Amino acid sequence: MNKRQLGKSELYVSELGLGAMSLGTDKRRATEIIAEAADFGVNYIDTADLYDYGENEKIIGTALKGKRPDFIIATKAGNRFEKGKQGWEWDPSKQYIKEAAKASLQRLQTDYIDLYQLHGGTIDDPIDETIEAFEELKQEGLIREYGISSIRPNVIRTYVEQSSIVSIMMQYSILDRRPEEWFPYLQENGISVVARGPVAKGILSERPLHTVAAASDGYLDYSVKEIEQLRDVLMQTYGKTYSLTKVAFDYCLAHPPVAAVVAGASSIEQLRQNARSCKEKPMLQTEIDNIERITKQSQYTQHRS
């Protein structure tokens, strides 16, 4: 599987990243999915300390024993929680970020995190303090690089200008083209995009639409009828050549700032389908251009200043 450079870093990630949140807590099944992903050339695993309150990181740590150098592990922090208690609170303080990193390292059974990400954030955070925490973790060798997970323009702009982030994880798909407004700016600054939600919660997959809960009330600025119509057009236009999942992945990956699409897999078959979609010959640029013409070019309306 092709690999792409993450920002200006020395990290090269597979075009398909395994979104670990969907692995669940069945250790055997999760381990099998991770092993299958590796066989397909997936080297990028994205998790967070909050997923199953740390259990997700533990499962990944165990699954990667003896294979650690072959993988790029990305995890996230900022949500303070206590094991055994429901809920969490946002805490981007320097003290907590550094504590959280060490706790993640222990659960992951590793000496370093390849990509450490702020799991959200607002413009009212003590951003200087947060950046200082990430920079110190990097100097201490506990993380290799850092980034943020955000769809707030004012937060994105601040981190681009004031920190040395290498990536931004953004919700991005054919049905959510809001990030595209920011692609030239990010590319100019040498920062990669990691696309989460490329299949729009299953709408852009092979699942029958009536089984996809996210489509029942519409999706962002698409009504239910518009979703049905667009899916029909995509399948009629490209269905003889590509799977809908591939169309969804390739659309994102066709945009230069995007280093990887991160997709979950709760079964071996789903993982295989995702991986095959990324390994096959990519769609033509003319086909990508056509998708741009028939879909909505939306923009973020909040948190712009």
Q: Are 44 and 72 in contact (CB under 8 A)?
A: yes
Which strand (E) or helix (H) includes residue 56?
A: helix 55-63
In angstroms, the CA 115 to CA 148 distance is 10
- Per-domain residue ranges for the chain? 3-294
- Of 94, 98, 155, nearest to 130 (Cα)? 94
pTM: 0.95
β-pairing verdict for 3-5 and 12-14: antiparallel
Q: Residue 102 pLDDT > 80, yes or no?
A: yes
Dump pLDDT digits (tens) for 248-300. Answer: 999 999 999 999 999 999 899 999 999 999 999 999 999 999 999 999 999 99
Among this protein's residues, is 51 annotated catalytic? yes
The pair of structure tokens assigned to 127 is 């951003």
Task: Show the DSSP H helices in 93-152 as ranges.
Answer: 94-108, 127-139
Tell me which architecture the domain covering 3-294 has in CATH: Alpha-Beta Barrel (3.20)
Average pLDDT, whole number, for the chain?
95
Dump pLDDT digits (tens) for 78-92. Answer: 998 877 777 789 999
Choosing from 12, 44, 51, 53, which is the catalytic residue? Answer: 51
The pair of structure tokens assigned to 267 is 């079964």
Q: Are 75 and 117 in contact (CB under 8 A)?
A: yes
Dump pLDDT digits (tens) for 116-137. Answer: 999 999 999 999 999 999 999 9
Dump pLDDT digits (tens) for 168-196. Answer: 999 999 999 999 999 999 999 999 999 99
